[in-house]
Amino acid sequence: MVYFILKRMFQSVFVMLAVAFLAFSLFRFVGDPITQMTGVETSVADQERLREELGLNDPFVYQFARFTGDMLKGDFGFSYRTRQPVADMISSRIPATLELGVVALIISLLVGVPAGVYTALKPRGVLTQAILMTTLVGVSIPTFVIGIMLIFIFGVQLGWLPTFGRGGTVQIGGWESSLFMIDGWRALLLPAITLGVYQLTLTMRLVRAEMMEVMRTDYIRFAMARGVPMRRLHYKHALANTMVPVITIIGLQFGGVIAFSIVTESVFQWPGMGLLFLESIRFVDIPVMGVYLVVIAFFFVLVNLIVDLLYVAIDPRLRIKDVS
Amino acid sequence: MIAFLKKYEGLWLFVHSPAAMIAALLAALILLGAVFAPWIALVDPYDLASFSLFDGLLPPAWEDGSNPKYLLGTDDQGRDMISSILYGARLSLVIGLSALTIAAVLGVGLGLAAGYYGGRFDAIVMRIADVQLALPAILTALLIDGIARGILPTAIQQDLRVAVLTLAIALSLWVNFARTARASTFVQMNKEYVQAAIMMGQHPLRVMFVHILPNILGPLLVIMTVDLASAILLEATLSFLGIGLPADSPSLGTLIRIGMQFLLSGEWWILWIPTVFLVVLVVSINILGDFLRDVFNPRLR
């Protein structure tokens, strides 16, 4: 058990180092940092002195070590575009993206899991066919079109919900949250649904496949023969065993949520990390791009680490295998 | 004989699947429209002289105040919507298909080699694939685009937009091909005909491309269809985000981005007609992909 956790931790650290290396290469080799920092009138001698002062002539490995060390200390350098510390720029945007992503995930699970169970238990039902057809179309409609459609229906035609921005936010110890005001929730609803739809179809399909698989197993047939009430059979015996894949889904979908939050944030002008990343691509703001990657990778690794630990907590078989 | 029966069976299934037939018909119509755009289209949206601002913001023919010359109306510049869409679809399909071709050549090549040689080469290719699979395609494409902006000199950047975009999409889609080709190659490697070919001392390239490749085409064709839809969607998304193509050579995604500006005013057609067009195109291709998967994998249904 301890060995398993240590091994996973070690792997996570390795992934983070790889991403940090990618970010470092971006910063070091895509464009020259010195030309970005200095103006046209800076003399060549001054440029060389700056290069020496910043340690850009040092050996590559040494530079990378310093880069990683600075990152660990929370020093992420400065943006080429705004000249502000990247750490401040990114951290002020994290709450918006995380709240959007988490609410989208919750929507996708709250709708996707029951829909998956239902379509698995009633494979020939009319409603099942309708749901499956809808998801096929849902997968084919790009995220930004779903966003535009929601804006058009609920924002423009009905005028019920705001179409851009975060609405009212509350500061809680440096965390700017929109979860404590009705206004904030109203602004959050459309982007979260937009982001959740694609994940929802994935969740539903996976839960459906898993549930159908479990329903065919011997222990379910045995329980059926024993006369366990159907309700109890479905929700206690079968669903409990589909929970492991569902947790995997959360881990896998996190990457998708973050990536598509770039699109969603762009449609709704949601002031999160994705919008910042888009701007930094447009202006070739390499430090921000690099740090965005590192931060995303960090969340990704963290979520997957938690997911792996949850497996052990949920599935007793994994613990037994470990002992033997 | 078996190949013929399989073909026959596929055709038979096709004739009996109305969804697949309608999808194929729509996809073929759009493809034809895109290919023959320069001859069908009323105006050339790239040629400023062929349209005039006086025709701007005309609604589609069935609404009041329209000009019957422009069936689906015009945009704010006076460009005929049908012409813009045909040219846009042309660009989207060109980028989608070339990106798909690059991804397929790269992915199938690497996958075949990984399956054939196994060992360390296989491990390296598959680790790279795993890492990339953890990143969603859109993030990869955005990143490649951003790097290209940093590396390429500003002067030639505009001219290379299409190439950069195509490459970014191709590099984010090759993984599917590589994994499928590798898995199928592994299966074929144990068969006698491959063993015989290797034993006869045939060149590895010949074994891979002449013997193995024809036998793994089925699953690859399915991936191709599904990934064509992904490629078109990726291009549309990137152009919509303003990262893809500039406004003077609009693809479907760019048209939708331009149309967004009219979301709050009354000119709905500038936004919704390209949007519907894109969705119909992608849904048709996806339905065809689902159909092909069922044909090549009878166990699934």
For residue B19, the chain A residue with the least C-alpha distance is A133
pLDDT at B206 over 60: yes
- Flag whether A292 is in a domain: yes
Residue B52 has what pLDDT?
66
The segments of chain A whose pLDDT lies below 50 read 322-324
A264 plus A193 within the same structural domain? yes
Would the CB atoms of A260 and B264 count as touching at under 8 Å?
Answer: no
Which of B138, B151, B286 is the closest to A259 by Cβ?
B138
pLDDT at B106 over 70: yes
A60 plus A159 within the same structural domain? no
- Flag whether A263 is in a domain: yes
| Count of A-B CB contacts under 8 Å | 92
Q: Is B17 on the interface with A (CB under 8 A)?
A: no
Residue % of chain B over a pLDDT of 70:
79
Q: How many domains is chain A built from?
A: 2
**CATH code of A250's domain:** 1.10.3720.10
pLDDT at B102 over 90: yes
Which of B229, B237, B241 is the closest to A140 by Cβ?
B229
- Flag whether A244 is in a domain: yes
Interface test with B, best of A25, A148, A202, A261 (most B CBs within 10 A): A148
A44 plus A92 within the same structural domain? no
CA neighbor of A207 nearest in space, from A295, A145, A117: A117
Chain B nearest-CA distance from A281, in A, is 5
Q: In chain A, which residues touch B (CB < 8 A)?
A: 18, 26, 30-31, 136-137, 139-145, 148, 151-152, 156, 255-256, 258-260, 262-263, 266, 277-278, 280-282, 284, 286, 289, 293, 296, 300
Residue A258 has what pLDDT?
81
A95 plus A222 within the same structural domain? yes
- Flag whether A228 is in a domain: yes
- Flag whether A106 is in a domain: yes
Q: Is B252 on the interface with A (CB under 8 A)?
A: no
Burial of B28 (0-12, 13-18, 19+ CB in 10 A): exposed
CA neighbor of A111 nearest in space, from A36, A35, A28, A201: A201
Handedness of CA A264, B224, B149, B271 (dihedral sign): negative
- Flag whether A120 is in a domain: yes
Would the CB atoms of B138 and A260 count as touching at under 8 Å?
Answer: yes
Residue A323 has what pLDDT?
46
Q: Which domain holds residue A71?
A: 31-75
- Write the pLDDT tens digit of every residue in B52-93: 666 666 677 666 666 666 666 777 666 777 888 888 888 888
Contacts of A256 in chain B (CB under 8 A): 136
Cα A27 from chain centroid? 24
A51 plus A95 within the same structural domain? no
Q: Is B229 on the interface with A (CB under 8 A)?
A: yes
Q: How far is CA B33 from CA A102, B28, B36, B37, B233, in A?
A: 43, 8, 5, 6, 19
Looking at A21, A55, A75, which one is the last position of a domain? A75
pLDDT at B300 over 50: no
A65 plus A112 within the same structural domain? no
Q: Is B145 on the interface with A (CB under 8 A)?
A: yes
Q: Does the model's pTM come out above 0.95?
A: no
- Flag whether A166 is in a domain: yes
Looking at A75, A110, A141, which one is the last position of a domain? A75
Residue A321 has what pLDDT?
52
A172 plus A226 within the same structural domain? yes
A132 plus A69 within the same structural domain? no
- Write the pLDDT tens digit of every residue in A105-147: 888 889 888 888 888 888 788 888 888 888 877 777 888 888 8
Contacts of B136 in chain A (CB under 8 A): 255-256, 259-260
Looking at A75, A106, A129, which one is the last position of a domain? A75
A140 plus A95 within the same structural domain? yes
For residue A135, the chain B residue with the least C-alpha distance is B283
A95 plus A150 within the same structural domain? yes
Which of A136, A140, A262 is the closest to B142 by Cβ?
A262
Contact partners, residue B51, CB within 8 Å, separation at least 6 = B43, B45, B74, B77, B78, B79, B80
- Flag whether A19 is in a domain: no
